[in-house]
Amino acid sequence: MRISTKQFALTSVNSILDRQRDLNKIQLQISTGLRVLKPSDDPVASIRILEISELISVNEQFQKNSNLAESRLTIEDSSLTGVVDILQRVRDLALQANSGLIGNSARLNIAEEIDQLQEQLLDVANTKDSNGEYIYAGFKGTTVPFSRGASGTFNYSGDSGQRFLQIGPSRQIAVGDSGTEVFRRISTGNGSFSVGLNSSNAGNGIIGPGTVTTVATWNANAEVYQINFTSATAYDVRDAQNNLVTTGTYSEGANITFAGIQTSITGVPASGDQFTITPSRNQDVFTTLEKLKTALNVGTTTDASAAQSTNLINAEIANMDQALENIVNVQGRVGARLNSITRQRSNNDSLIFESTIILSRERDLDITKAVSDLNLQLTGLQAAQQVFVRVQNLNLFQFL
């Protein structure tokens, strides 16, 4: 086969260019620290690198979501602690006012302090998160959730929505509770029924909060009942349709039992006095404080008025206990979510760490081997250049 001088030269030049290309690739690999610079370098590894990189990116976003959720729930937990402190103080003041050891003037002072505590509670209920959104407004984060209306009423402008954030591949976490769930959806009385009295009672009878003795019976017969004193020592119980349910002889502190519930009355009721049993309904905590202030403003100039005030305050103390129980339950759920975030964050960290190791194996360069290859490529390039010089001298004109 005949090989021309031109072909000799072209082969030598191509060999030099190949060595330069290989040398350039190794230089880029060493400078970037990456083994795979483009998909064609290793198609299988390139696919793995894309998959692992996406997995790491997704879990890093989960970590950001976890941090955001933790921040919001920590603010909620702190605010709920403030709510508990406020309600505990209100309860202490109510018990103090109901002790019978203070006069009307002191009771008015207590009512004034409760009014200030009510304002503090309203401020806490309108707490914002680090992004300036109201944490108890549901989905309406930019809307002030609670405001004072006319005549002692309170308005809620939020909704019942609950926001969730994805903190793991299959794990979502609630990052708040609506104002309805925390402050408004609170059962009155003992949680099953509440007690009350007729404002025209002439005696000094005081009704207790009562309990449910048979849940199934009460659930089947829950309605408004009225305890009527037909004399100072006898009573009957009638349902909402005025049907007679039971009768009895009054004994102070003795249980009055009917329809799966029981209660008791202390003091000396007068003939014609009436007490009521009403199935529990929802009452917001602000209304409870408002009613408590109203009860404290009732003058206690007679035994009957003192009993009236005591009954009203007792009713709101029972409502206050329900509010405290609800807040503590919500706070417990918030704490459980915070613990869950901590565990999920640890899982995410482990997954990111392991994925990073795998990614490094697929993508990163073995520097020791690369430096050795670089030296080999340099040697090859130098050899190719020397061959080119020698080939250039192989022509007939050198011998003429």
> Each residue of 206-253: pLDDT tens digit?
999 999 999 999 999 999 999 999 999 999 999 999 999 999 999 999
CA dist., res. 300 & res. 306, Å (int): 4
Residues 48 and 83 in one domain: no
Question: What was the pLDDT predicted at 392?
Answer: 61
CA dist., res. 330 & res. 77, Å (int): 9
Residues 253 and 164 in one domain: no
* CATH number of residue 323's parent domain: 1.20.1330.10
Q: Which DSSP string do the residues of 385-396 spell out, in sequence order? A: HHHHHHHHT-SG
Residues 245 and 145 in one domain: no
Residues 166 and 80 in one domain: yes
Whether 107 shows a pLDDT value over 60: the answer reads: yes
**What value does the mean pLDDT take over residues 249-258?**
96
Contact between 118 and 147 under an 8 Å Cβ cutoff? The reply is no
- Residue found under tokens 């997995």: 55
pTM: 0.81
CA dist., res. 342 & res. 339, Å (int): 5
Q: Model confidence over 160-209: pLDDT tens digits?
A: 999 999 999 989 999 999 999 999 999 999 999 999 999 899 999 999 99
Which band of pLDDT confidence, cut at 50, 70 and 90, is reported for residue 73? very high
Residues 70 and 172 in one domain: yes
Among 260, 280, 300, the domain boundary falls at: 280
Question: What was the pLDDT predicted at 149?
Answer: 86
Instruction: List CB contacts of 339: < 8 A, sequence separation 6 or more.
Output: none
- At 108, list the tokens: 């008015």
Which band of pLDDT confidence, cut at 50, 70 and 90, is reported for residue 24? low
Among 222, 257, 280, the domain boundary falls at: 280
Residues 104 and 130 in one domain: yes
End-to-end C-alpha distance for the chain, whole angstroms: 25
Which band of pLDDT confidence, cut at 50, 70 and 90, is reported for residue 299? confident
Judge whether 226 lies within some domain.
yes
Residues 201 and 169 in one domain: no
CA dist., res. 178 & res. 143, Å (int): 12
Judge whether 322 lies within some domain.
yes
Residues 108 and 214 in one domain: no
In which domain, by residue range, is 208 found? 193-280
Judge whether 300 lies within some domain.
no
- At 187, list the tokens: 């059962």
Whether 289 shows a pLDDT value over 90: the answer reads: yes
Judge whether 287 lies within some domain.
no
Question: What was the pLDDT predicted at 152?
Answer: 77
Q: Model confidence over 120-149: pLDDT tens digits?
A: 999 999 999 989 999 999 999 999 999 998
Judge whether 290 lies within some domain.
no
CA dist., res. 73 & res. 83, Å (int): 15
Whether 156 shows a pLDDT value over 90: the answer reads: yes
Q: Which DSSP string do the residues of 40-58 spell out, in sequence order? A: GG-HHHHHHHHHHHHHHHH
Residues 145 and 256 in one domain: no
- Domain count of the fold of the chain: 3
C-alpha closest to that of 114 among 100, 128, 95: 95
- Helix (H), strand (E) at residue 10: helix 5-32
- At 188, list the tokens: 């009155």
Instruction: List CB contacts of 399: < 8 A, sequence separation 6 or more.
Output: none
CA dist., res. 220 & res. 197, Å (int): 24
Question: What was the pLDDT predicted at 32?
Answer: 62
Among 252, 280, 308, the domain boundary falls at: 280
Classify 259 in phi/psi space as left (phi over 0), alpha (psi -120 to 50) or beta.
left
Residues 182 and 69 in one domain: yes
**What value does the mean pLDDT take over residues 52-67?**
92
Residues 69 and 182 in one domain: yes
Instruction: List CB contacts of 347: < 8 A, sequence separation 6 or more.
Output: 168
Which band of pLDDT confidence, cut at 50, 70 and 90, is reported for residue 5? low
Residues 71 and 179 in one domain: yes
**What value does the mean pLDDT take over residues 98-127?**
91
**Side-chain half-sphere exposure of 266, counting CA atoms within 13 A:** 8
pLDDT mean across residues, the chain: 86
Judge whether 285 lies within some domain.
no
Whether 283 shows a pLDDT value over 90: the answer reads: yes
Q: What share of the chain is helix, strand, coil (3-state, %, to 5)?
A: 55, 15, 25
The CB density around residue 375, as the number of other CB atoms within 10 Å, is 11
Question: What was the pLDDT predicted at 370?
Answer: 54
* Distances in whole angstroms, Cα of residue 156 to Cα of each of 79, 140, 148, 149, 282: 18, 11, 9, 10, 14
